Amino acid sequence: MNHFIRLNVITALPLACLFAVPASLGQLTFEPSWHPPTYEAVRKQVFSWIDDMPVNPTLSQEARTLWPSMSLRDTDGPALLDLVVETAAIVNPQVAKLLAQCNEQSFEPLPPDTTWLSSSQLPESVQENVRLYVARWLTQHARYDDALAMLDDIDPEDVVDPASLLFCRMVAHHQVVEPDRSRAALVELLEQEDAIPVRYREVAELIEQDLASLQDESLDHVSRRMNDVRRRLDLGQAGKQVQVVEKGVVDSLDDLIKKIEEQQQQSSSSSGSAQSSTPMQDSQLPSLKAPGKVDQKDIGNQAGWGDLPPKEREEALQQIGREFPAHYRQLIEQYFRDLADENSKRQAP
């Protein structure tokens, strides 16, 4: 497989060459798993695949003019990726169309079609860089699940901008609330902390701080998944995958509300025990229940906690308001209003 700047890995190196042990710290410093390619190396690879393609000599020369021997423009990773795709657009009309679509100013832009890429005459390395370019566009337009699908089989050494590959994965996994995968991409990205764009490093540090405080199945975790569902619905996505995410959110809310109700019951039991030690007034009669009979609370069925009776649903919301910041109650109420509207649309003839 021909790739842009595939690293040569020498496995026979002594172990001491693979990492250094600072005497002052006594810590291991491992070699990064990826390295950003240089402008000169990418330029050489670009000229190689231009020569191998059946390209009109005039177009070939035009493409070469984008790559002077000394770069006159910013050539960090994202700029190199732009150059590669711009070069491919000169020699391939379909890439030119895709590039124009990505640069089109539109209120609701549609994802570019890339189904033709695998059957094109473009070298595989060029195809992978075009996919990364589109995935970066998808990430910028909040189509995170589409971006992740586009990046699924691409390795950092396969593209001219490995930092953008890892950055897009980190951001997309973070936004679809997959913290472990986001954290893995973040760690890999920061292996080359000094070589990546400053904006990438700053976002990575913010995400790192955010993930450190996120706990699975907490209300914060569930609210983020709600926002992800709302984002998907806003993009017109209402397929099976979205419904699976919806059900997961509802199940998590059911569990949270059940825990809150159990806490209420325990609190009521403790309060009742304290009151039972106080003699009743003659005018008061205790409420009696048959043996084995207890109050049954409906905490929602498979369709969701929105099926609770209005009074109990309001009590649960009030409890959430007491236990958590006020905006969570508003978020939950709005979320289920949105789901109700979406279900009405689905059931409409």
The domain spans of the chain are 39-212, 215-259+307-349
Report the C-alpha gap between 34 and 170 in whole angstroms: 16
Report the C-alpha gap between 265 and 267 in whole angstroms: 5
Return all residues near 159 (Cβ < 8 A) that are at least 6 apart: 4, 81, 128, 129, 132, 165
Matching residue, tokens 């990575």: 204
Which residues, listed in sequence order, are joined to residue 20 by a DSSP beta bridge?
29
Report the C-alpha gap between 95 and 17 in whole angstroms: 43
| Joined tokens for residue 260 | 């809150």
pLDDT for the residue 12: 35
Report the C-alpha gap between 23 and 76 in whole angstroms: 34
Question: pLDDT per residue over 316-343, tens digit each?
Answer: 666 655 555 555 566 666 666 666 676 6
Give the global pTM: 0.65
Question: pLDDT per residue over 113-170, tens digit each?
Answer: 899 998 888 999 999 999 999 999 999 999 999 999 999 999 999 999 999 999 999 9
Question: pLDDT per residue over 38-72, tens digit each?
Answer: 999 999 999 999 999 888 999 999 999 999 987 65
pLDDT for the residue 8: 37
Q: Which residue, among 32, 84, 19, 89, has the nearest Cα to 59 in the 3D structure?
A: 89
Does 6 have pLDDT greater than 50? no
Q: Which residue, among 32, 10, 12, has the nearest Cα to 20 in the 3D structure?
A: 32
